[in-house]
Amino acid sequence: MNNEEEKKTPSLEEVLGKLDQILDVLGRGESSLEESFNLYKEGMDLLKIGNQKIDKVEKRMLEMDKEGELHEFSEGAQ
């Protein structure tokens, strides 16, 4: 995702807020099947955006070792 695409995509907070709204609508059970399907698809698209944003943050995270030096975050580091 380049900088221009990032500006067009919603923030993580916006993504989570919209997902919450979608869950509320679906949870009420008042939507038609077609509307429910469209909301589901929108939710899946938002999840993808949210996961991309979280992955980007994880890649930038730093981890401090026992000597106080900073290293890039890695899942297997202890």
Q: Structure pTM?
A: 0.68
Say whether pLDDT at 73 is over 80: no
Q: Which residues of 23-49 are buried (b: 16+ CB within 10 A; e: fewer)?
A: eeeeeeeebeeeeeeebeeebeebeeb
Nearest Cα to Cα of residue 26 among 16, 41, 46, 48: 41
Q: How do residues 59-71 score in pLDDT, each as one tens digit? A: 777 665 667 677 7
Give residue 74's pLDDT band: very low, low, confident or very high (50, 70, 90): low
Give residue 3's pLDDT band: very low, low, confident or very high (50, 70, 90): low
Beta-carbon contacts of 18 under 8 Å, excluding residues fewer than 6 positions away, are: 10, 42, 46
pLDDT of residue 64: 59
Domain residue ranges in the chain: 10-72
